[in-house]
Amino acid sequence: MQRINVGLLATTIAVVFISGTAQSVIQTDVVSVDGGEAAEAERIALNHLRATVLNDTAAFTGMRTAEPDEIELRVDSTARSEGVTHVYVQQQVDGVDLIDGTANVAVTDDGEVAYAPAQLIPSSLVSEAPSAALPLTVNAIDAVELALEAAAVEPTQPLRIVEAPTGSDQRQKVSDGGVNARPFDVALIYTEVDGELRLGWNVELEVAGVAHGRTVVAIDDSSVLRTDHYRVSHGPDAYDNLREFNDRNDRSVAGGAAPLETPASKRTATADTSTSWNTRLSTRLSTRLTTDDGSSYSVFPIPVEAPSFGSQQVVSQPADALASPYGWHDTDGVAGAESTMTEGNNVISVLDLNANDSADANSQPDGGLTLQFNSMFDGSSSPLNGENPNAAVTQAFYTSNWAHDFFYAYGVDENAGNFQVNNYGRGGSEDDPVIVDSLDGYELAEGPYTRNNAFFTTPPDGYPGRMDLTVFTLTNPQRSSSFDNGVIIHEYAHGWSVRLTGGRNNVNCLSNAEQMGEGWSDFAALMATTRVTDTGDERRGIGSWVLGQPTAGGGVREFPYSSDGSADPRTYASVATEDSVHGIGSVWASMLWDLNWALISEHGFDPDLLHGNGGNNITMQLVSDGLKLQPCSPGFVDGRDAILEADQIAHAGAHECLIWAVFANRGLGWFADQGSSDNSRDGVASFQLAPQCSPMEPLWAHGNLANAERLGSPR
């Protein structure tokens, strides 16, 4: 990003150049913002949006009003990255929220607006919206009944108002009807339907095994205007044709893939196929502090990906002192565990054999007063035999807590909407740990949602997340996905990408066609299970163990992840040929994986995955900050630009040309055009570097991205 400061008294004008054209004109008062003064950042953000040049369609999609005062906005939430406050703003009509009318404004600590993507609804629609003050034909109880009817659920108890309406949106609570996990949250909301704004009741549903999301019911004709599901489903398209995958990957591991010829028109000026990554290993000793609670767990410890990658070991006191200051079994913020079972502030880990979203009886191991969880895994026995159920629950508890602490290190804290019972006074909403169900649905008939699958549910901040881990049936004995750390990190990462994109209360920002949610999850799984002996050109799969593949197996994706283009030929052009969110996401993960190894080549690898300073740590931080910066409903170009901006904010653009080279190499270069992010087939690939980075020192050519020097034996 280039900032052009001109002497206009107390005003700074900054023109942001991302893809060859000015993306926005930023005008803001120069005000010093202390890192903790969120209120000042919010004021700057709102003033900026109301004063923004309104015909700047590149950065402010939909703003079409001549009067800035007509833009009704409220601050929804704020989050922090180093040196910047992220302010998430919600568009309103008559004090009622407007679905899909959102903006993020990144305000630096010196009061400068660094980045401000927005998607606001045009004033032409707003001016025709029905008034929220008019009498309502459908009341809140009617709306809950209609939402349950749409979900084919019959309440078993009478519905009644348990908290009276407040505010312009008449927010209230309706009793759970004997079917919901908690009283129904109901409020008025506007949504766009067929080119017009409709007013409806937003009903939050959390019915075990049936519905977890929101349903909007029209206040005038009782119709269901929209339904948004909070559960990310990985079946059947995620794990279909698994035997075909196994056969193909077995052949690939045995014989290797032939290098792909890259058309001359797609080769960039960055090519030198003989260039080595020259990967370096950081020898800096870890200074990470852990919480002294006496706990220990017999598990496959991170970075061991699964039982085929290493052995079960006893891990002592693994809780990170910053993210989990009272350990993993605390809930009250006072020294001493509240539970000796597999539950605490971040995670509740249980068995749920009948998939009813309720813990089975005796489904948690008890570590006793000393918190010793020592159940042993027997890979030669079925998932239900011997100590395997307790071992599965323990492993899922350990890995999910580790994921909480891992993402916390990269900015997924309380204000960003992390998952915790008690936020220890650090902000955000509480009472939302991740509930992890192991052997989910194992007592039920085999099907796409009871076997060979895994799921994650991400509701708004303040509502618990849920992870469902099933058993995979392609091996004998069958394998519980609770022992595959890559699968668990992948699932947990959906909470990371969903709550950081658009803010912690807006969990519908990754529902568009070109969104990359599965890619962020695959990437996080790869990052968490990287070992000091790994190199970029190795073949990494997701879920190789649960599929019964060797460690070099390709897992559940069409290609394994590798910075060697002959093994992983995916480019941005591949997106248009993908029919599933997993295929689309895998293209994005390939790009992020390349970025990781490019930054490792410059800064080395640090085995301290949470608090290190290697290239892997830098990559993880840039990607996490990019999630906070990018707009709602992002496409690939949006995601790339957010990472570039994250580097500008955190590193003054020190890695700008390296980032451009990585993305250009996989077709997301200077002239790449994502078209509509609601259409995954209209993107245009470009292998051209940014002008400011060409000519530059060659890095690699697509088709042979890395010839990394190994630091040890292969995986």
pLDDT level of residue 15 (50, 70, 90 thresholds):
very low
Q: How far is 119 from 90, CA to CA, in rounded Å?
A: 10
Which residue type occupies 614? G
Torsion of CA 526, 532, 534, 540, to 10 degrees: -20
**Both structure tokens of 618:** 């830098």
Strand partners, 469: 454
Q: How far is 628 from 638, CA to CA, in rounded Å?
A: 12
Same fold, 11-118 and 242-253+289-693: no
Q: How far is 341 from 433, CA to CA, in rounded Å?
A: 15
Which position has the higher pLDDT, 276 or 356?
356
Which position has the higher pLDDT, 464 or 253?
464
Q: How far is 51 from 76, CA to CA, in rounded Å?
A: 19
Q: How far is 271 from 274, CA to CA, in rounded Å?
A: 9
Task: Look up 387 and say whether it is catalytic.
Answer: no
Q: Each residue of 494-527: pLDDT tens digit?
A: 999 999 999 999 999 999 999 999 999 999 999 9
Count other Cβ atoms within 10 Å, centred on residue 313: 11
pLDDT of 696 reads 54
C-alpha dihedral sign at 346, 352, 357, 358: negative
For 27, residues 6+ apart whose C-beta sits below 8 A from its C-beta are: 11, 12, 13, 48, 51, 52, 53
- Percent helix, strand, coil in the chain, to 5, is 25, 20, 55
pLDDT level of residue 493 (50, 70, 90 thresholds):
very high
Q: How far is 213 from 584, CA to CA, in rounded Å?
A: 24
Q: Torsions phi, psi of 518, nearest 5?
A: -65, -30
Asked if 140 and 188 touch (Cβ cutoff 8 Å), the reply is no
Average the pLDDT over 293-315 and give the result: 97
Which position has the higher pLDDT, 1 or 603?
603
Please report, in angstroms and rounded to a whole number, the separation of the first and last CA atoms in the chain.
39
103-107, 118-122, 211-215, 344-348: segment of lowest average pLDDT:
118-122
For 289, residues 6+ apart whose C-beta sits below 8 A from its C-beta are: 320, 321, 322
Strands 347-351 and 434-438: parallel
Torsion of CA 394, 395, 397, 403, to 10 degrees: 160
Architecture of the domain defined by 242-253+289-693: Roll (3.10)
Q: Reduce the DSSP state of residue 602 to 3 states and report it.
A: helix
Count other Cβ atoms within 10 Å, centred on residue 127: 11
Q: How far is 72 from 456, CA to CA, in rounded Å?
A: 34
Q: Each residue of 153-168: pLDDT tens digit?
A: 999 999 999 999 999 9
Strands 196-207 and 184-193: antiparallel
Q: Each residue of 520-556: pLDDT tens digit?
A: 999 999 999 999 999 999 999 999 999 999 999 999 9
Q: How far is 551 from 383, CA to CA, in rounded Å?
A: 21
Question: Does residue 259 surpass a pLDDT of 80?
Answer: no
Q: Each residue of 204-224: pLDDT tens digit?
A: 999 988 889 999 999 999 999
Q: How far is 42 from 63, CA to CA, in rounded Å?
A: 20
Architecture of the domain defined by 11-118: Roll (3.10)
Asked if 509 and 458 touch (Cβ cutoff 8 Å), the reply is no
Asked if 698 and 272 touch (Cβ cutoff 8 Å), the reply is yes
Q: Torsions phi, psi of 165, nearest 5?
A: -60, 140
**Both structure tokens of 634:** 């992002």
Q: Reduce the DSSP state of residue 650 to 3 states and report it.
A: helix
Average the pLDDT over 68-94 and give the result: 89
pLDDT level of residue 604 (50, 70, 90 thresholds):
very high
The ranges assigned to domains in the chain are: 11-118, 140-229, 242-253+289-693
pLDDT level of residue 1 (50, 70, 90 thresholds):
very low
Which position has the higher pLDDT, 343 or 242?
343
Which position has the higher pLDDT, 210 or 329?
329
Q: Reduce the DSSP state of residue 69 to 3 states and report it.
A: helix
pLDDT of 43 reads 94
Asked if 97 and 120 touch (Cβ cutoff 8 Å), the reply is no
Locate tokens 């209209």: which residue? 682
DSSP readout, 304-317?
--SGGGS--EEEE-
Question: Does residue 12 surpass a pLDDT of 60?
Answer: no
Locate tokens 């910047």: which residue? 84
Q: Each residue of 356-413: pLDDT tens digit?
A: 999 999 999 999 999 999 999 999 999 999 999 999 999 999 999 999 999 999 999 9
Q: Which member of 204, 343, 491, 518 is catalytic? A: 491
Strands 113-115 and 96-108: antiparallel
